[in-house]
């Protein structure tokens, strides 16, 4: 159809991309999934997922994406390793530029997700990998019987702080307000955990040390008081940034860089859909990513049917 390599290309291999790929392959749409590293996305580094339906005991993030990959593979979803650096969505044939290679498709699902937001304070970049981390699953075992600082008040900060307590003897959870944003069930657990001390109304101003992290400077935003917390590590979980830079104006974004879409997951560019954390959405969960992807896949099918009907006229 219309001289493109594929009927649909899915960009990103997290839960949204894998689900879209599974739906489209099962519907026999000639599609391809492009993933720049390994399939899985952010959930790959999540220790435990306990709110994805069908797993009453919970499931590790790695196991969940392994199962999703297997299911997509079963229906024949092809996956290629490539990073989309820029796009041209101006015509009916969408172009995806990946280094020297250009892929073309009649439709696109953007499922690039998001990456951890940075604090942008002195020492954060310098000590990255020397005590500063964004991933408890990757680095928590290094902090057995040690003291760490965790930053943030959302689901990620609270859930991952609880995971840290399996190793660290003490976790300071530094939050900029006097109320956590995290789900109630997580709040109850963190309040009951004796290894976690919440440092309320405080922001991190610097990460310090000689060769590795030794102290984290915090400032109370109400009193102005500043102090150094002794810490061997500093885990930053202050939200996420949608991975949409490569789009450079090709679709409408909101002020935070998330892709604007309607309830059919249609973006401002015809034939271009979005699913998962890259979307402007009130909730970012594996379940919502999967739901978005199912809707986007249906939208792709309808869009392609429309193109085909137009060609026959």
**DSSP string covering the chain:** -TT-SEEEEEE--SHHHHHHHHHHHHTT--EEEEESS-TTGGGGG-S-B-SSTT-TT-B-HHHHHHHHHHHHHHTT--EEE----EEE-SSSSEEEEETTEEEEEEEEEE---EEEPP---TTTTTTBTTTEES-HHHHGGGGTT-EEEEE--SHHHHHHHHHHTTT-SEEEEE-SSSS--S-HHHHHHHHH-TTEEEETTEEEEEEEESSSEEEEEEEETTT--EEEEE-SEEEE-S-EEES-GGGTTSS-B-TTSPBP--TT-B-SSTTEEE-STTB--S---HHHHHHHHHHHHHHHHHHHHHHHHHHH-
- 139 catalytic, yes or no? yes
By CB under 6 A, residue 157 contacts ligand NAP? yes
User: By CB under 6 A, which span of 54-62, 135-143, 231-239, 299-307 interacts with ligand NAP?
Assistant: 231-239
Does residue 134 touch ligand NAP according to CB under 6 A?
Answer: no
- What mask, x for binding ligand NAP by CB under 6 A, covers residues 244 to 283? ---------------------------------------x
> Under the criterion CB under 6 A, does residue 205 sit at the interface with ligand NAP?
no
238 makes contact with ligand NAP (CB under 6 A) = yes
**What part of residues 89-128 is at the interface with ligand NAP (CB under 6 A)?**
119
Q: Is 138 a catalytic residue?
A: yes
Is 135 assigned a catalytic role?
Answer: yes
One residue of 239, 241, 246, 257 binding ligand NAP per CB under 6 A: 239
When the beta carbons of 25 and 156 are compared against ligand NAP, the nearer one is 156
| Residue 84 or 136 having the CB closest to ligand NAP | 136
203 near ligand NAP, judged by CB under 6 A: yes
How far apart are CB 255 and ligand NAP at their closest, in Å?
15
Contact with ligand NAP (CB under 6 A): which of 94, 170, 219, 284? Answer: 284
Q: How far is the CB of 243 from ligand NAP (least distance, A)?
A: 14
Q: Just list the catalytic residues.
A: 135, 138-139
Residues that bind ligand NAP (CB under 6 A): 51, 119, 151-157, 159, 176-177, 181, 203, 237-240, 283-285
């Amino acid at each position: 159809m219309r001289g493109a390599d594929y009927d649909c290309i899915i960009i990103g291999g997290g839960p949204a991309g894998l689900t879209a790929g599974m739906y489209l392959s099962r519907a026999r749409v000639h599609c391809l999934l492009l993933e720049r590293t390994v399939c899985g996305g952010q959930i790959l580094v999540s220790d435990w997922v306990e709110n994805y339906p069908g797993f009453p005991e919970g499931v590790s993030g790695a196991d969940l994406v392994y199962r999703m990959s297997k299911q997509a593979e079963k229906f024949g979803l092809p996956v290629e390793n490539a990073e989309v650096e820029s796009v041209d969505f101006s015509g009916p044939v969408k172009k995806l530029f990946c280094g020297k290679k250009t892929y073309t498709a009649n439709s696109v699902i953007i499922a690039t997700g998001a990456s951890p937001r940075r604090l942008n304070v002195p020492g954060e970049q310098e000590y990255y990998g020397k005590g500063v981390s964004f991933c408890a699953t990757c680095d928590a075992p290094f902090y057995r019987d040690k003291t760490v600082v965790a930053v943030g008040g959302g689901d990620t900060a609270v859930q991952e702080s609880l995971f840290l307590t399996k190793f660290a003897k003490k976790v300071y959870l530094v939050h900029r307000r006097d109320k956590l944003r995290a789900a109630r069930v997580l709040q109850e657990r963190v309040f009951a955990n004796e290894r976690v001390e919440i440092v309320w109304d405080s922001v991190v101003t610097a990460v310090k040390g000689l060769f590795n992290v030794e102290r984290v400077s915090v400032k109370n935003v109400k009193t102005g008081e500043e102090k150094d917390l002794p810490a061997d590590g500093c885990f930053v979980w202050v939200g996420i940034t949608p991975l949409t830079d490569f789009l450079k104006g090709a679709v409408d974004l909101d002020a935070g860089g998330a892709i604007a879409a309607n309830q059919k997951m249609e973006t401002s560019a015809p034939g271009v859909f979005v699913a998962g954390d890259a979307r402007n959405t009130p909730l970012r969960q594996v379940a919502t990513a999967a739901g978005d992807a199912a809707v986007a896949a249906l939208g792709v099918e309808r869009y392609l049917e429309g193109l085909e009907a137009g060609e026959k006229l």
